[in-house]
Amino acid sequence: MTTEKLENAAATVIIGQKVLPGREREFEKWQEGLNSAASEYAGYLGSDVSAPTTLQPDWVVVYRFDSIAHLQAWINGATRQRLLETGSKYFDGPATQQVVSGGTEPMDPLVTVVVTHRVHPDHVDDFLAWQHHMNEEERKFEGFRGTELFRPVERLQDEWTTLYRFDNADHLDAWLTSGKRQEVLAEGRKFSDFELRTIDNSFGSWFAFEENGKEAPPPSETKTSIAVWVGLYPTVVLLTLALSPLGMPFWIGLLVGNLLSSFVMSFVTMPYYVNPLLKKWLRPPVDAPAARTNLLGLGIVAAAIVFWAALFYIVTTQIWSLP
């Protein structure tokens, strides 16, 4: 990719931050303000905040801009530096940061691993050959979904960054702990100075709208919660009606119903009902007016809920009485 194309390519920064115990809520509120400030900068496409999980030990914040230049203006801007100073009282150590630019594939919605390497200029060819060998071995493992390698970004990041993806945490762990990976790592001893981070995005597969190889800004946590509600309500009621003739005890009925609703939500309700219905609200075009988009989206949400509530009222009071 030429320098001109790289400067004009969409750019993403992945920031990892440990937070002092007991300061999580304050950090979240502060982070919301930081994201709001980012949205005022030219080229802003979206941001996402992911809390720590058993797979992902740090808070992870992802910003996406339409170019390296616009991302750099935000990362190095006085507004962000001032806000970082006010938020430093919540931090448990320094943050880590990786920038990727020009990628054509979206991050895997389940598990993405980010690895950064510092490479001496004289060893670049050896590093690329070693990375090629690493990728060849990764591809042989179950669940592997692809990899991307990003060069250092001038004036922003000196490290090489690799993203590789697996379909779930178990398959990822099988690769990370494998003897084959240890062999390949041993072959690249001079590249052993690296950092590795796993990003766990548990609900990502419920909201997949990537088109033409471009990653759309992720929906906010509020939109995500409302969208899940739109899908969960009819799913739970329909499953309750379907299971009621079996006469199971309450606690067993909930156990079975919750299991079935998880599968139905993941494989039917979200991809075939909620995502198409709320697509333009969850992932609006960058140039779409926010007020109009939100008004239309909330109108669709209200209409869907009223429809299902009215339908279930008629079914359960006029047609079918639950035991």
3-state secondary structure 32-54: HHHHHHHCCCCCEEEEEEECCCC
- Which segment of 27-36, 101-110, 135-144, 186-195 scores lowest on mean pLDDT? 101-110
Q: Tell me how many helices (H) and strands (E) the chain has.
A: 11, 8
Q: Give the chain's domain count.
A: 2
Query: Which band of pLDDT confidence, cut at 50, 70 and 90, is reported for residue 22?
Result: very high
Express each pLDDT in 302-314 by its tens digit. 999 999 999 999 9
Query: Which band of pLDDT confidence, cut at 50, 70 and 90, is reported for residue 102?
Result: low
Where in the sequence is the domain holding 315, given as residue range(s)? 221-319
Residue 256 belongs to a domain: yes
* Mean pLDDT of all residues belonging to the chain: 80
pLDDT of residue 235: 93
Q: What H or E segment, with its residue span, contains residue 145?
A: strand 144-150
The sign of the dihedral angle between the CA atoms of 29, 32, 37, 38 is: positive
How crowded is the C-beta side of 317, counted as CA atoms within 13 Å? 6
End position of a domain, from candidates 206, 241, 265: 206
pLDDT of residue 163: 78
pLDDT of residue 208: 46
Does 292 share its domain with 191?
Answer: no
Residue 76 belongs to a domain: yes
Angle between helices 24-38 and 78-87 (to 10 degrees): 170
Quick one: average pLDDT of 120-132?
Answer: 86
pLDDT of residue 219: 67
Bigger pLDDT: 102 vs 67: 67
Q: What H or E segment, with its residue span, contains residue 106?
A: none
Express each pLDDT in 229-248 by its tens digit. 999 999 999 998 888 888 88
Does 164 share its domain with 302?
Answer: no
Task: Provide CB contacts within 8 A for 53, sequence distance 6+.
Answer: 200, 202
End position of a domain, from candidates 150, 181, 206: 206
Q: What H or E segment, with its residue span, contains residue 4?
A: helix 3-8
Distance CA 246, CA 253 (A): 9
- Which segment of 73-87, 97-111, 304-318 scores lowest on mean pLDDT? 97-111
Q: What percent of the chain has pLDDT over 70?
A: 82
- Which segment of 39-48, 78-87, 126-135, 187-196 scores lowest on mean pLDDT? 187-196
Does 229 share its domain with 202?
Answer: no
Q: Are the C-beta atoms of 11 and 214 separated by less than 8 Å?
A: no
Query: Which band of pLDDT confidence, cut at 50, 70 and 90, is reported for residue 214?
Result: very low
pLDDT of residue 310: 94
Does 165 share its domain with 135?
Answer: yes
pLDDT of residue 223: 86
Does 136 share its domain with 19?
Answer: yes
Closest listed residue to residue 97, CA positions, set 150, 161, 46: 161
Residues in the chain: 323
Closest listed residue to residue 57, CA positions, set 22, 92, 84: 92
Does 140 share its domain with 228?
Answer: no
Does 234 share its domain with 128?
Answer: no
Does 225 share its domain with 200?
Answer: no
Q: What is the DSSP string of 113-135?
A: EEEEE---GGGHHHHHHHHHHHH
Does 153 share its domain with 269?
Answer: no
Query: Which band of pLDDT confidence, cut at 50, 70 and 90, is reported for residue 197?
Result: low
- Which segment of 103-107, 123-127, 243-247, 248-252 scores lowest on mean pLDDT? 103-107
Does 41 share its domain with 154?
Answer: yes
Residue 216 belongs to a domain: no
